[in-house]
Amino acid sequence: MIDRGPSDGQAAVILLAGGQSSRMTGIDKIWAEVAGKPVINYALDWLLDRDVIQKVNLAEVIIVARTEQQDRIKKVLDERTDRVKAPLFGFAPPGVSRQDSVRSGLGVVSDQTQWVLVHDGARPLVSIGMVLRVFSAAVKFGAAVPGIEVSDTVKSVQQSTSAGVSLVDQTLDRGQLRLIQTPQCFSYVALTKAHHLCEGNFTDDSAMIESLGGTVAVVEGAIDNIKVTYPSDLELVSEKLKTFDRYT
């Protein structure tokens, strides 16, 4: 079983910004511009928000990024943090997989940390309300993630046949399904234990917690919380930005 850890104390964020952007046709997605600002700047909006810093007791942010990106990120941070009370920022190198990158970030997080939020730097439209919902649920249950309902019919399929098609195994109850987003929040004790014990590939940290018998709460996510994966996603983010409310 996973220990929840204490319900108070300081929090840290691991911001994943070291991906290869392999599906972005040569564009580094964290530096791709939306409405005149790099994608990573939007992630910094909620990390530097006064309500977030105070209500989750955010003490540090570890940015997982390649060495050649770190100086550029530091310049952005210098521009954004010179007039505000900001958490301590640090860096960690990315790993081969997402799982490796989170583990790398955990290795830099202060051992005084009680709660860790993990966020994909390629998700620019994160509301303050979502961050606080996730954090509050994590304090209660030990781990929490945001998720949105599935609108399409979802089927599980068998392996492809010799004709190159797949056969339906069953139609899943979409009322029981959620598309999971970030930021996700975990007890530092639980997340560290999961990364120490879990082997194999996991698509996110909550799956690691689940595999060890831990409870993961799901709170309301947002359809605006898009992960930039393809160049066309930049246009979608730009359009959603016109009506995006950072405080919902």
Q: Which two tokens stand for residue 114?
A: 């009680």
Structural domain contains residue 175 = yes
Model pLDDT for residues 84-109, shown as the tens digit of each residue: 688 999 999 999 999 999 999 999 99
Bond prior to 183 in cis (omega within 30° of 0): yes
**Cα separations in angstroms, 96 against 84, 101, 118:** 34, 7, 17
Query: Phi/psi at 215 (nearest 5 deg)?
Result: -90, 135
Query: Tell me, what CATH number does 30's domain have?
Result: 3.90.550.10
Structural domain contains residue 121 = yes
The Cα 247–Cα 216 span in angstroms is 24
Q: Which of 134, 144, 145 is nearest to 56 (CA)?
A: 134
pLDDT of residue 4: 46
Query: How many folded domains does the chain comprise?
Result: 1
Structural domain contains residue 153 = yes
Structural domain contains residue 247 = no
Q: Which of 128, 106, 121, 113 is nearest to 46 (CA)?
A: 128
Model pLDDT for residues 118-149, shown as the tens digit of each residue: 999 999 999 999 999 999 999 999 999 999 99
Q: What is the pTM of this model?
A: 0.93
Structural domain contains residue 20 = yes
Flag residues of the chain having pLDDT under 70: 1-8, 19-26, 82-84
Domain enclosing residue 81, as ranges: 10-241
